[in-house]
Structure 1
Amino acid sequence: MRTERNLTRLDRVFARLDREPERPAHLDVPRMSRHRVVLFGATLAFYLAIVVAVLVTSWLVRFDWQVMFFRPYQQWPEIHAFLDYWVVLGQRGPTAVMVAAWLGWRSWRQHTLRPLLMFGTALLLLNVTVGAAKIGMGRLGPHYATVIGSNEMWQDGDIFPSGHTANAVVTWGILAYLASTPRTRRYLSALSAVVSLSVGLTTVYLGTHWLSDVFLGWAAGLLILLALPWFEPLITRVEAVIFRVREAWRDRRAGTTAPAPEPVPAPVGVPAIVQQRPSAGGEAPAREPVGAARTTTRPPAYLAPGPHTARSERTPVTPAGSRRPPHPHADRVPRGAASARPMAGG
C-alpha cells in the first residue's frame, strides 16, 4: 500500500524555511559598470533640467498649474478612498519597517549584514540629499500656493522634490538591487517601478504635490539606487569590522564566564595525629603530622602490602582433588575399629 503523498507548494515553502541558514557561495553584487555610469549621468542631467525649468518658471510650471486647476480628486472621486491608503507605500516610516524586517530575515538566513547595511546607507543618502533639496529650495505645495503662475520657490516650503516619490523609488528599488539572481532583479525592478510611479501620481491626484515635484522625486530616488555600487567596498569593510568586534566580544565573554577550578578544602574537624620517627644518633624523635604532604604514596587500605598484578596477568591455578569441604567429624574413629592407643608396659 502506498502511503506517500505529493508535496504541495506550501509544503515545499515550509521545507525550505526549515533548512539551516546558509550563506550563498556566490552573491550577485551589482558593479558600477559603464552602462550604470551612463544612466547615472543621464539621470543627473534630468534632475538638473527639472530644477532649472522650475527656477525660470518655464512651461513646466504652467503645466503644474493646469493640473492643479483640473483637480483630479474631483474628477474621479470614487478612487479617492483607495488612493488614500495606496499613498502609504511612499511614507518612510511604514515602508522602512516592512522592508527592514524582510532584509533582516534575509541577513539571518544568509549570514551576512550586507542587506541591512545597504538599506541603511540608502536611507541615509535619501534623507541627506532629498532633505537638503527640500530645505534649500523651499517650494510651497498646491494647497498653499499664493500667486497663480509662480513657481512658489523660496517660500519656506518643503515640497520640492516629492519625498513620497523618492522614498518609494529607494525603498522598493532596494529589494531589486539586493536580489540574488538577475531574473529576480528584473521582476522586482519592474514591480518597484510600477509602485513608485503610481505613488508619485497619487500625490498629484490628492493635490499634495506639483507634477514637477514628482518628476524630481523620481530622479532623486533613481540617483541613489544607481550610486549604491560605489558604496559596496565600504559596506564590505564595515561588515568585516562588525564581525571582528562580535568575535572579540564572544571570546571575552567566554573567558570571563568560564568557572575557575576551586581548590579542594582540607577536612574540617579531623584532629592532626602526630607520629614519631626515630632519629639516628640518639637525637629526639622528629614529629610529623599525618596530614602533611608526602612524596611516597601508600596503597589503599583494602589492598594487602606487596606488589599486585592485574587479573589478566595472573597464572590460572586448577585446584587438585575434590572441592568438597572436609567433614566436621572426620577425625573420629568408627565403632568396632581397633583403637590406636599405645600399649602400656614393655
Structure 2
Amino acid sequence: MRTERNLTRLDRVFARLDREPERPTHLDVPRMSRHRVVLFSATLAFYLAIVVAVLTTSWLVRFDWQVMFFRPYQQWPEIHAFLDYWVVLGQRGPTAVMVAAWLGWRSWRQHTLRPLLTFGAALLLLNVTVGAAKLGMGRLGPHYATTIGSNEMGLGGDIFPSGHTANAVVTWGILAYLASTPRTRRYLSALSAVVSLSVGLTTVYLGTHWISDVFLGWAAGLLILLALPWFEPLITRVEALLFTLRDAWRARRFGIAPAQAPAGVTAMIPQRAALDEEPPLRETIGAARSARAPAYLAPGPHTARSERTPVTPAGSRRPPGADRVPRGTAAARPVAGG
C-alpha cells in the first residue's frame, strides 16, 4: 500500500517562494557580442536619422501634422477610457514599483543583488540620456504647437523623445534582459515589444506626442537595453562592495569576526568572496536543508509493515558467557541420589 499526498496549489506557491540554498550558477549574464554591437550601431543610426529628419523639417514633420489633424481620439472615442489606463504602463513611477518588487523577490531568492542593481542602472541611464535630449531639443507637443508645419523645436518643450515610450521599452525589456533561460528571454522580449509599441501608439492617440517622438523613444529605450552589458563589470563590483559592507556590519553587530562566527550565525550570515575568488560553498545552509525536508513537500512512497521482508538476525542476541550452553545441545544435569 502506497500513501502519497498530491501537492495543492498553495503547496506549489510555498515551494516557489522558498529560497535557493545558494546562488544559482546557471544564471546567464549577457555579453557585448558582435551581434549586439551591430544592433546597437543600427539603432544609434536610426536615432540620429530621426533627430536630423525633425531638425530639417522633412517629410516626417509633415506626417506628424497629418496625424495630429486626423485626431485619433475623435475618430475612435469608444476606446479612450481604456487607453487612459493603458498608458500608465509607460509611466515611470507605477511601473518602476511593480518591476522593482518582482526583481527584489528574485534578488532575495537567488542571493544576489544583480537584478535590482541592473534595473537601477537602466533607470539611471534612462533619466540621464532621455532627460538631456528632452531639455536640449525643447520641442513642444501637439496640444501646444504654435505654427502649422513647423518642427516646434527649441521652444521650451520636453516631449522629444517620448518618455512614456522609452520608459516602457526599458522597464518591461529589463525583464527579458534578466531572464534565466533563452526561451523565457524570447517570450518576455516579445511581450515587452508589444507593450512598448502599444504604449507609444497610445500617446499618439491621446494627442500628447508626435509620431516622431514615439519613434525616437523606441530607439532611446532600445539603446539603453543594448548597452547594459558594458555596465555589467561595474554592477558586479558594486554588488561585491555591498555584500562586503553588509558582512562587516553584521560582524560588528555580533561582536565577532566573520571567520569566527558560530554555525548558527554562519547559516544566517553567508559570507561573500572577492571578485577574483570563487564564492564559498554554503555548506551550513545546504546541510540544514538536506537534514530535514520542508513540511510542504509531499512525503516519499513507503511500504506497509505487511509488505516488508522480515530480517532475522544471525546468531544469538544474548551476550556470550562462560557458563552458557549453546542452544540446541543437551545440558548436563546433576545425577540425583546416591
Paired residues for 1:89-100 under 5 Å: 89-100=89-100
TM-score by length of 2: 0.73
Hey, what's the Cα distance between the residues in 1 that align with 2:34 and 2:76? 44
How big is the shift at 1:27?
1.2
- The answer as to whether partners of 2:90 and 2:165 remain within 8 angstroms in 1 is yes
Q: Secondary structure at the match of 1:208?
A: coil
Hey, what's the Cα distance between the residues in 2 that align with 1:33 and 1:238? 23
How big is the shift at 1:8?
4.8
Deviates more, 1:204-213 or 1:247-256: 247-256
Which letter does structure 2 place at the counterpart of 1:24? Answer: P
How big is the shift at 1:17?
2.1
Q: What CA deviation, in whole Å up to 9, does each residue of 1:136-161 have, x standing for no partner?
A: 00000000000000000000000100
Q: Larger RCO: Structure 1 or Structure 2 (Cα < 8 Å, ≥ 6 residues apart)?
A: 2
Partner of 2:78: 78
Partner of 1:226: 226
TM-score by length of 1: 0.72
Q: Secondary structure at the match of 1:225?
A: helix
Partner of 1:56: 56
Q: Do the aligned partners of residues 247 and 172 (structure 1) sit closer, same or farther apart at CA in structure 2, a change above 3 Å counting?
A: same
Which letter does structure 2 place at the counterpart of 1:73? Answer: Y
Hey, what's the Cα distance between the residues in 2 that align with 1:86 and 1:226? 26
How big is the shift at 1:26?
2.1
- The answer as to whether partners of 1:168 and 1:195 remain within 8 angstroms in 2 is yes
- The answer as to whether partners of 2:164 and 2:199 remain within 8 angstroms in 1 is yes
Q: What CA deviation, in whole Å up to 9, does each residue of 1:214-235 have, x standing for no partner?
A: 0000000000000000000001
Hey, what's the Cα distance between the residues in 2 that align with 1:9 and 1:226? 38
Computing the radius of gyration from Cα coordinates, the structure with the larger value is 1
Structure 1, gaps ≥5 residues long: 257-346
Which letter does structure 2 place at the counterpart of 1:195? Answer: V
Partner of 1:145: 145
How big is the shift at 1:12?
2.6
Q: What CA deviation, in whole Å up to 9, does each residue of 1:307-331 have, x standing for no partner?
A: xxxxxxxxxxxxxxxxxxxxxxxxx
Paired residues for 1:317-328 under 5 Å: none
Q: Secondary structure at the match of 1:49?
A: helix
Hey, what's the Cα distance between the residues in 1 that align with 2:16 and 2:193? 29
Q: Does 1:66 align with 2:66?
A: yes
Which letter does structure 2 place at the counterpart of 1:69? Answer: F
Identity of aligned pairs, percent? 93
Q: Does 1:39 align with 2:39?
A: yes
The count of aligned residue pairs is: 257
Partner of 1:338: none
Q: What CA deviation, in whole Å up to 9, does each residue of 1:89-113 have, x standing for no partner?
A: 0000000011011100100000000
Is the helix fraction higher in 1 or 2?
2
Q: Secondary structure at the match of 1:121?
A: helix
Which letter does structure 2 place at the counterpart of 1:162? Answer: S
Which letter does structure 1 place at the counterpart of 2:93? Answer: G
Partner of 1:275: none
Q: What CA deviation, in whole Å up to 9, does each residue of 1:119-151 have, x standing for no partner?
A: 000000000000000000000000000000000
How big is the shift at 1:14?
3.0
Q: Do the aligned partners of residues 224 and 19 (structure 1) sit closer, same or farther apart at CA in structure 2, a change above 3 Å counting?
A: closer
Deviates more, 1:44-53 or 1:3-12: 3-12
- The answer as to whether partners of 1:64 and 1:211 remain within 8 angstroms in 2 is yes
Partner of 2:167: 167
Q: Do the aligned partners of residues 196 and 33 (structure 1) sit closer, same or farther apart at CA in structure 2, a change above 3 Å counting?
A: same
How big is the shift at 1:251?
1.3
Hey, what's the Cα distance between the residues in 2 that align with 1:19 and 1:26? 16
How big is the shift at 1:252?
1.5
Hey, what's the Cα distance between the residues in 2 that align with 1:97 and 1:122? 14
Partner of 2:101: 101
CA RMSD of aligned residues (A): 1.6
Hey, what's the Cα distance between the residues in 2 that align with 1:103 and 1:253? 28
Hey, what's the Cα distance between the residues in 2 that align with 1:164 and 1:21? 39
Which letter does structure 2 place at the counterpart of 1:145? Answer: A
- The answer as to whether partners of 2:19 and 2:108 remain within 8 angstroms in 1 is no
Which letter does structure 2 place at the counterpart of 1:31? Answer: R
How big is the shift at 1:249?
1.2
